[in-house]
Amino acid sequence: MFDLLITNFSIGISAAFSPENLLLCFVGALLGTLIGVLPGIGSVATIAMLLPITFGLPPTSAMIMLAGIYYGAHYGGSTTAILVNLPGEASSVITCLDGYALARAGRAGEALALAAIGSFIAGCVTTFAIAFFGPALTVATQWLGAPDYFALMVLGLLAVIVLSRCSMLKALIMLMAGFLLSMVGTDLITAEPRMTFGLPELSDGISFVSMSMGLFGVSEIIANYAHGTEGRIITRKIERLLPSRKVMREALPSMLRGTGIGMFLGMLPGGGGVLSSFCSYAVEKKVSKHPEQFGRGAVAGVAGPEAANNAGAQASFIPLLSLGIPSNAVMALMGGALLIQGITPGPHVITSQPELFWGIVVSMWVGNVMLLIINLPLIGLWVKLLAVPYRVLAPMILVFCCIGAFSVHNSVFDVLLMMAFGVLGYLLIKLEYDPTPLLLAFILGPLIEENLRRALQLSDGSPAVFIESPISAVLLSLSVLLIVVALALDFRARRAAVAG
């Protein structure tokens, strides 16, 4: 077992540690922080905007660069949350609570360092977890047939819906819209164009890059422009960077607890960073001797959730790489990037392209190290960047988005499509829709369609096939149970809101 693990790691190390890949990971982490540090732009928006720059690269290098971008973006988001109290996304909301309080108390540098060190410790532990559990899950998937796959994807999508930021009904609407949009293009069986509105540019389907850049990137620019983010920016001199030994002793147990929580929740479909950081914050508050400090600058309130967030996000690579199921928006983007490279994420990746799988596992750790050694010393620079007004930065970002969308197929149609999705994304924000289920359904749509079609073809159209296969029966019952419980909780919360 250990021999195998070492062999596998050495494959990964030789893939990740080539000079070009190290450089790409470094550039990725730097660019990720550069964009992610901008107020109002979270890691999903950052990754969506930077996706196109990885497409010219071979798959392993592209994924390694994306891992770097992800770490950079996440760290940039934490920086904004701590220094400016502006969370770019749900998972940074928790960091704002105590991180900003620490920053106001003049301990911004320490808070940033704790975030980075917490992420690093979580990253190291989780890398090993992926190396262990990924292959084991892959072996288990050998027994899955078409009905089981269908049921597994249904369960994964429903889990995402239950955990989504908006109401269940709205999340289901986003899911259906994602399915519908994924069917635009040429039907794979009959080669008939479907819902392309007579546009030849849509015959290959809606460009994933245009859609994700528009929905998550351009929409944020519009929202920030329409409502303004100026005037809230604070710039402070960062005095002390490294936390004292006493602070570290206090933070270390929180980081380890956070890592455990994140690792467990991240492996579940629908899990990932957001859920993990919320859980970890709750746990830290419970176990703390001074719960009254939380919200007023508790060290554990930054260290625990940041570690949990990173462990959760990284562990959600396990369902993506072993089952082919992305469990959150970041993983959907990673899965989309793999699809564009011509690789369908799924159980076969680990056997047919071991250097890709193990390269990603190792590069996640490399991305973490890059973050610690380049970003911490550069903190002064990021703080200066925060002082650049948004009205100067936004046009620059928009130009890069346009060129990025153009460069994927060298087509201006994709630029127009991105802008249209940008406006749609802005409307979705205003109407309180969460676009994450849409993105996931868009990625999984073709797979669900294919597996359902195959399952029903083999059973001569009888839906009983989903109950006859025990695995599918269990998964579908779990899905039903999940929906019923969530609906009941939703209903109770709404009744409480009306009564209160």
Partner 1 sequence: MFSRDFLAGLMMLLVAGALFFDGRGLEFGTPEMMGPGFFPFLAAGGLALLSTILMVSGLAAGAPRLEPMGVRAPVMVILAGVAFAVLLDHVGALAATVAVVVLCALSIRDFRWKEVALVAIGMAALVGFLFVYFLQLPMAM
Closer residue to partner 1, CB minimum distance, 169 or 485: 169
Tell the smallest beta-carbon distance from residue 389 to partner 1 (Å). Answer: 8
Q: Is residue 225 close enough to count as binding partner 1 by CB under 8 A? A: yes
Q: Is residue 184 close enough to count as binding partner 1 by CB under 8 A? A: yes
Closer residue to partner 1, CB minimum distance, 3 or 460: 460
Between the CA of residue 441 and those of 120, 154, 217, 310, 366, what are the distances in Å?
32, 10, 19, 24, 31
**Judged by CB under 8 A, how many residues of this single chain contact partner 1?**
63
CB neighbours of 334 closer than 8 A, spacing ≥ 6?
Answer: 63, 66, 70, 317, 320, 326
Classify each residue of 316-337 as buried b or exposed e, where b means 16 or more C-beta atoms within 10 Å of its C-beta.
bbbbbbbbbbbbbbbbbbbbbb
Rounded to the nearest angstrom, the gap between the alpha carbon of residue 391 and the centroid of all alpha carbons in its chain is 27
Tell the smallest beta-carbon distance from residue 175 to partner 1 (Å). Answer: 9
Torsion angle in degrees (nearest 10) through CA of 368, 77, 81, 161: -110
Q: Is residue 200 close enough to count as binding partner 1 by CB under 8 A? A: no
**Which of 105, 169, 480, 481 contacts partner 1 by CB under 8 A?**
169
Closer residue to partner 1, CB minimum distance, 130 or 177: 177
Q: Is residue 187 close enough to count as binding partner 1 by CB under 8 A? A: yes
Phi, psi of 186, deg, nearest 5: -80, 130
**Binding window for partner 1 (CB under 8 A); candidates: 12-20, 179-187, 259-267, 356-364:** 179-187
Judge contact between 99 and 115, C-beta under 8 A. yes
Q: Among residue numbers 452 through 471, which ones bind partner 1 (CB under 8 A)?
A: 453, 456-457, 459-463
Angle between helices 412-430 and 390-409 (to 10 degrees): 130
Q: Is residue 485 close enough to count as binding partner 1 by CB under 8 A? A: no
Report the candidate in 346, 362, 268 with the shortest Cα–Cα distance to residue 67: 362
Tell the smallest beta-carbon distance from residue 27 to partner 1 (Å). Answer: 13
The structure tokens listed for 256 are 């380890």
Q: Which long-range contacts (CB under 8 A, 24 or more apart) does 345-352 make?
A: 345/320, 345/321, 346/141, 347/137, 347/138, 347/141, 347/142, 347/322, 347/323, 349/321, 350/134, 350/135, 350/138, 350/321, 350/322, 351/138
Tell the smallest beta-carbon distance from residue 55 to partner 1 (Å). Answer: 12
**Which of 172, 283, 321, 447 contacts partner 1 by CB under 8 A?**
172
What is the β-pairing status of strands 185-186 and 193-194? antiparallel
Q: Is residue 183 close enough to count as binding partner 1 by CB under 8 A? A: yes
Q: Is residue 222 close enough to count as binding partner 1 by CB under 8 A? A: yes
Closer residue to partner 1, CB minimum distance, 250 or 490: 490
Q: How far apart are CA 371 and CA 234, in angstroms?
A: 24
Closer residue to partner 1, CB minimum distance, 377 or 395: 395
**Which of 204, 227, 384, 477 contacts partner 1 by CB under 8 A?**
227
Q: Is residue 241 close enough to count as binding partner 1 by CB under 8 A? A: no
Q: Is residue 197 close enough to count as binding partner 1 by CB under 8 A? A: yes
Q: Is residue 420 close enough to count as binding partner 1 by CB under 8 A? A: yes
Q: Is residue 196 close enough to count as binding partner 1 by CB under 8 A? A: yes
Q: How far apart are CA 184 and CA 289, in angstroms?
A: 56
Report the candidate in 348, 346, 441, 349 with the shortest Cα–Cα distance to residue 149: 346
Count how many residues are written for the chain.
500
Q: Among residue numbers 348 through 407, which ones bind partner 1 (CB under 8 A)?
A: 391-392, 394-396, 398-399, 402-403, 406-407
Closer residue to partner 1, CB minimum distance, 374 or 416: 416
Phi, psi of 153, deg, nearest 5: -70, -35
**Which of 201, 355, 449, 490 contacts partner 1 by CB under 8 A?**
449
Q: Is residue 170 close enough to count as binding partner 1 by CB under 8 A? A: yes
SS3 412: helix
Q: Is residue 423 close enough to count as binding partner 1 by CB under 8 A? A: yes
**Binding window for partner 1 (CB under 8 A); candidates: 182-190, 252-260, 371-379, 481-489:** 182-190
**Which of 137, 413, 471, 486 contacts partner 1 by CB under 8 A?**
413
Tell the smallest beta-carbon distance from residue 476 to partner 1 (Å). Answer: 17
Closer residue to partner 1, CB minimum distance, 183 or 478: 183
Q: How far apart are CA 96 and CA 86, in angstroms?
A: 7
Q: Is residue 194 close enough to count as binding partner 1 by CB under 8 A? A: yes
Closer residue to partner 1, CB minimum distance, 11 or 171: 171
Rounded to the nearest angstrom, the gap between the alpha carbon of residue 398 and the centroid of all alpha carbons in its chain is 22
Classify each residue of 6-20 as buried b or exposed e, where b means 16 or more C-beta atoms within 10 Å of its C-beta.
eebbebbbebbeeee
**Which of 116, 151, 152, 415 contacts partner 1 by CB under 8 A?**
415
Tell the smallest beta-carbon distance from residue 406 to partner 1 (Å). Answer: 7
Judge contact between 119 and 98, C-beta under 8 A. no
Q: Is residue 426 close enough to count as binding partner 1 by CB under 8 A? A: yes
Judge contact between 52 and 94, C-beta under 8 A. no
Judge contact between 283 and 149, C-beta under 8 A. no
Q: Which residues bind partner 1 (CB under 8 A)?
A: 169-170, 172-173, 176-177, 179-180, 183-184, 187, 189-190, 192, 194-197, 218, 221-223, 225-228, 230, 391-392, 394-396, 398-399, 402-403, 406-407, 410, 412-413, 415-416, 418-420, 422-423, 426-427, 430-433, 449, 453, 456-457, 459-463
